[in-house]
Structure formats: structure tokens, C-alpha cells
Chains A and B, each alone.
Chain A
Amino acid sequence: MATDSMYLENLEEYVNDEGKIVTYKWLSLNLHVHVNEAKQMLYTFVEEQKKKKIHVTATYFVSGMCKSVDGCQTYTCTVIPEEELETFKNSLTTVHSIHVYSVQKAGLKDSNSLYLADYDCVKENLFEIHKYRSIKYEKAQPSSEAKRPPIKTAQEETKVSGTSSAASTNGHSSSNTKKDAKKGGIAGMFANAATKKADASKKADASKKQEIKAETNGTTTAGKADKKNQKDAKKGVANFFANHTGKKAAPKTMEVKKEENEEEAEKKKDTKPKQNGKGKRSKQARNGDSDEESNKKKRRRIRIEMSESSEEEMDYESPVPSPVPSPTREPSPVPDTPEKESPKKQEVSVKPSQNGEKHRKRRRKLVPKTFMDEDGYMVTEKVWESESTDASDAEPPPVKETPKPSSPQKKKKASPKKKSPPSTGSKKQTSLSSFFSKK
């Protein structure tokens, strides 16, 4: 088919010319195709390249039942390089699904690059990640700020809802089996989807951690899970609390899981546990927001109420220094929370004739602006900004936020550390002040 060959050509370009690592997720999001098609394309591509004797390496996603260890059979989902494919397949009693996970020009040293490869793409499409996948849950909607329960009841609520939410997230991660699904591989996938949702991910990952630690699956994605664990460990105090509730949640997950699984199995009948989990997870994570009150959120809220502290901001927005490097260097230079919650920029509707004294040259540039909107979401928009090239102009002229319908809107949910005051009011205010400041 014509479209297929075009896609395959594109694929060839990405892999051979640009030396990219192409994962099926990335391919599906970029070419706007269903993930199954993406997997198929990767497979055909690998076959073709083999025929042409061009060297490409691939990693495969394999899931199936492991041989029983200590009488306990485990369901594993793993991403493995092709060299280990056969040996790994043999180690499983039954293989439920195999598909190509990624294609790249040269062998990968470890799974770091796999995670890096589609990190940005996945983050940008966090809310639409299910668009091209088989697993959908229509009732899951992102919750708005208003619906979140108050902090006081958070502690009790975590214990209660911790079960259901953690259970459901865990539940979705396993597929047709009723056994405890090992999350080695999946946790890594979840790490992708839910990293931005710090609360939810904390919760579920904490409970997963228990299971992950129990498991000694020597898979490459175990590395991912570990990394996710480390990430969580670094997120501080909340982790400690989340762990406790996680433990209680774990035993209860089994029963709830079984019900969920039955539902799942009936509806979907597919053997893509990873996607299953992932799609659901991201939806659930959003639900989780309203249900769970992890202490991380609590902490954030307290901070928000007490002060407009910028430290939290630094944790998330700035590059976090890794523990190893120099104790001498202080982290973060990163600048932080502006005092205004929603930095609204005014467009200079000004004519150059406004300042008689200096001759300012004004250029209009299309520039991406990042700011907070009314729901506490961080929004990046492309906005026309007039740039003045006068040397004495230290600060850029304030730009009005004109949400142009044509400009692409990417919504990124920042961990709601900041208050989000009614932006309409501040919009007006800033417009007024900018009007005056220009004079």
C-alpha cells in the first residue's frame, strides 16, 4: 500500500540517517497511527533491512508466564535485546505476546537510551496517550482543582482510597491472569506515563515498589523500575508516608484486581498487558489525583498556603543535581517562581513613535511562552512578541498573552505547587499596568 511504503521510507530515514532510536510508541505518536500498526511497521522494517543486509538492531517486548520459582508462577513483561530473545523465550513456560519494541542503528548499551528516546514525545502527549491504543476508559477524566478534597481528610482518605486507586492501577497492569503480576517491566512503562503526575505515581509506585523489590527479575526493565524507585526516593518525605499506605494496599489489591481483570478480559481480550496497564494507568492517575492525597501533595498544598515558596518549583522544574557530584557546588541556580502566579505578558500594541527620545526598533517574533493558566496547568504557547533591539532595553517588553487559535497548545500538568488565582482578574490587571508601564 502506498501509505505503508511512505511510512517505511520515513522509518528508514529516522533510523539510518538520523541515527534515532525509534520505539513503537514514538512512531505511533509521530505518524498518528495505531500502536499495532506501528509495531507492524517496525517488524516489516526489520525484516527488510535484514534482507538488504543493512545492520539494524531491535529490542523486543516479550510477555508470558515464567517458570515457577518456589511454587509461585509469575507473569512477566520484559524488553530485551534481540540477542537474548531466544534464551528468554525459552525461559518462559508460555509466551503470550512478542512484538518489536524499538529499532536503532547500533546496539544499545543499556535501557537508559530507550527511556530517553521517547521521553519528550510521551510527556507532550500525556493526556492523549491512549488515542492510538486499544485500552480506553471513557469515564476517566482529568480532575480540576476544585474537586480535590481538603487536606485534613487526606490522611484517612489515602488509606481508604489508597486501596482502590492503587489496586486499580495495579490491577490494570496485569492482564489475563489473576496472579500477582510482576511489575518489573511495567513499572518502567508507568514511569513514563505518570512521571508528571507526581502524586498518583508516588502512590502507586510505592505499592509497586513492594512488589518490585520482592521480585528478582533479571530483566533490562528492572533497571527502569529501579530508576523509578530511586526517583521516588529522591522525592523526599512523601515517599516515606506513601510506603506505609502502599503496604496496606498491596494485600487488598489481589481481590480488587480479580474483579477488574475479569472486566478487562471480557472487554478487551487482548494480550497487551503493558499497554493495558499504561493506558489505564494514565487515566487512573488522573482519577487518582482527586482520590488520593499523597503527602507530597499535602506538602505542596501547605506550602502553597503558607507562602509562595519557590523551592518546590526548583525541585520539579529545574535540573535536579545528581547526588554524586560535587558537594561544593550548590544546586540551583534555577530561577523560580515569579511572584506573580500567572505571568501574563502584554503585547505591545505600541507604535515606535511612542518614545520620542530613543529610537527603538521593534520586531515581532513568534516565541514560545510558558506560563500558568487558571487551572494551575503549565501552558506553552507560541506568541507574537515584539522584541525591541535597543541596547538600553534590559527587560523585554511585556507581551500580552493572546491565545491565538492557530497556535498549538500543549498542556503540561505541573505539580500543583502554585496557587492558581483566577487568572481573568490578573489578566485585566496586568493589561492595565503594562499600559502604564510603557509610559
Chain B
Amino acid sequence: MIKELNGMAESEATQIGLDIFSEFLEVAIHSILYNRELYPAGVFERRKKYNVPVQICVHPEVNQYITQVVNGISEFNSSNQLEKVALVVCNKELQPLEKFILEINKPDMAQTQTDRYLYQLEQSLRSFLLKINMADSLLTPLPADCTWTVHATTSESAAAKRFDTNLENNFPWLEASEKETTMDNASILPLKSTTSPYINMQMYVEESKECKDS
């Protein structure tokens, strides 16, 4: 399938951006799980993505969960309604301790010519992964027995639209409660941002100092 990049329609470029974003999100979630030691290191296997090694979990149920999450998010994203994706780490009492947030903006399509072979995009995604690996040096370590979940910030219409289909797939997205979303005394640690023609996002970590001390 040869695509004529010169005359590429905006919709195609958008689709490409969405797909790449979904792939990246999946790898990023796995990396965060590995780096924050949310699962023991033994369940992770080294695989290759963007020409560098990444750690991917091999537990089938975890993978299934992640796949469904990413599918759901890409549906929200397809209508361009997705604002943020957050991987929230909570302690035993379900209070959020850390949030890895990916903010998404509409990419500037005009420059698709500059990155024809997506080499620069690949490079920036690689540096995202590197930053995730490095993040744990700058974050306080997590206590034992943490759980994690994924929050997506989107518009109400998009959420409502997908609700029925999600229910059919047995994977409903529910509205998150106040308790799960608010963090007291949060500090932000910026990680990386990229503005390629296909993806425009920035990543940062919010951590709640208070909860960690308790």
C-alpha cells in the first residue's frame, strides 16, 4: 500500500497519528508498570519498540486489561475529544499517590512533509520512553500494595457516545469519583513534550507528597 505523502489527506494523517498514539500509550503503560514496580520485575519481558528495548508485561490478564483500556482511549481520541490520559497509582485506600499524565492537543498538520519517514517522531517517542525510565530517580518510591488505574479526560458527549458500545464489550468506562481524582498537595514533574505533525502531546507526573509520607 503506497501512500502518496504529498497529497495526503488530513484524515489519513490524523488516523496515522491516532494509531501511533495508541501504540505508544500501550508501551508507555507497560514501562510505567515496570519502572514503578507495580508488578514484580519477573513478569516483564524485554521486547523491542522504536528500535530500543522496552519491558512488556507477559501476564495475560494484565495485557488484556491494558489492551481494552487503550482501545477505549483510542475511540475517545478518534473524535478528537480526548484531553488527557492519566495512569493513576493509588494506595490501599484508593487515594491517588501519583499520576502519569499525557496531555493531548490537536497536532498541526501542515508540516507532515518534514517528517515523511516518521524518523523524528520515532526519535521523540524514544526520548519519552527514556524519560519514563529516568522518572523514578526523581520521584519518591511507592509504598507496597498499590493499585493502578487509567483515567481519561474527555468531553461528555464522547463519553456518552461510547458508553453503550463499551457496555457491550463488557468493559464500561465509568465516571471517576471525586476521591479518585483529587490529589492534595500535588507537585508536578514535567517529563517530555513533543509537537510532531502527527502527535502533539506532553507528559508529566503529578505526585502527592502527603500521601506518600503516611
- Give me the interface of A with B, judged by CB distance under 8 Å: 19-21, 104-107, 109-113, 115-117, 119-120, 195, 223-224, 226-227, 230-231, 234, 308-311, 313, 317-326, 328-339, 343, 345, 367-371, 378, 380, 387, 394-396, 399, 412
Interface code B124-140, partner A: CB below 8 Å = 1, 0 otherwise?
01110110011011100
Contact at A335–B5, with CB atoms within 8 Å? yes
A residues within 8 A CB of B67? 325-326, 328
Contact at B23–A329, with CB atoms within 8 Å? yes
The chain A residue sitting closest to B109, CB to CB, is A394
Indicate which residue in A107, A323, A333, A371 contacts B47 across the interface (CB closer than 8 Å): A323
- Give me the interface of B with A, judged by CB distance under 8 Å: 1-8, 10, 12, 15-20, 22-24, 26-27, 34-35, 41, 45-58, 63, 66-67, 70-71, 110-123, 125-127, 129-130, 133-134, 136-138
* Distance of B27 from chain A, by nearest CB (Å): 7
The chain B residue sitting closest to A387, CB to CB, is B110
* Distance of A227 from chain B, by nearest CB (Å): 4
Contact at A333–B20, with CB atoms within 8 Å? yes
Complex: A313 Cα to B118 Cα, angstroms: 11
Contact at B136–A230, with CB atoms within 8 Å? no
Contact at A338–B114, with CB atoms within 8 Å? no
Complex: A361 Cα to B136 Cα, angstroms: 47
The chain A residue sitting closest to B57, CB to CB, is A324
* Distance of A387 from chain B, by nearest CB (Å): 7
A324-B47 in contact given A116-B52, A319-B20, A336-B2 (Cβ < 8 Å): yes
Complex: A112 Cα to B3 Cα, angstroms: 34
Indicate which residue in A106, A195, A334, A367 contacts B111 across the interface (CB closer than 8 Å): A367
B residues within 8 A CB of A117? 130
Complex: A319 Cα to B110 Cα, angstroms: 22
* Distance of B106 from chain A, by nearest CB (Å): 15
Contact at A115–B23, with CB atoms within 8 Å? no
Contact at B4–A322, with CB atoms within 8 Å? no
Contact at A345–B5, with CB atoms within 8 Å? no
B residues within 8 A CB of A325? 23, 26-27, 56, 63, 66-67, 70
A residues within 8 A CB of B22? 329
A residues within 8 A CB of B66? 325
A residues within 8 A CB of B54? 112, 322
Complex: A322 Cα to B50 Cα, angstroms: 9
Contact at B49–A21, with CB atoms within 8 Å? no
Q: Nearest 3 CB-CB pairs, A to B?
A: A106-B137, A333-B19, A333-B16
* Distance of A169 from chain B, by nearest CB (Å): 21
A230-B126 in contact given A328-B67, A371-B116 (Cβ < 8 Å): no
Contact at B51–A195, with CB atoms within 8 Å? yes
* Distance of A47 from chain B, by nearest CB (Å): 21
Contact at B125–A113, with CB atoms within 8 Å? no
Given A116-B130, A119-B126, A334-B118, 16 further pairs, Cβ under 8 A: A106-B134, A111-B53, A112-B54, A112-B55, A120-B123, A230-B46, A318-B118, A319-B20, A319-B118, A325-B26, A326-B26, A326-B67, A330-B19, A338-B5, A345-B113, A399-B113
Complex: A370 Cα to B115 Cα, angstroms: 7
* Distance of A399 from chain B, by nearest CB (Å): 8
A112-B46 in contact given A310-B2, A367-B111 (Cβ < 8 Å): yes
Complex: A104 Cα to B118 Cα, angstroms: 30
* Distance of B46 from chain A, by nearest CB (Å): 5
Complex: A328 Cα to B72 Cα, angstroms: 12
Contact at A334–B20, with CB atoms within 8 Å? yes
Contact at A396–B110, with CB atoms within 8 Å? yes
The chain A residue sitting closest to B131, CB to CB, is A19
* Distance of B35 from chain A, by nearest CB (Å): 6
* Distance of A306 from chain B, by nearest CB (Å): 13
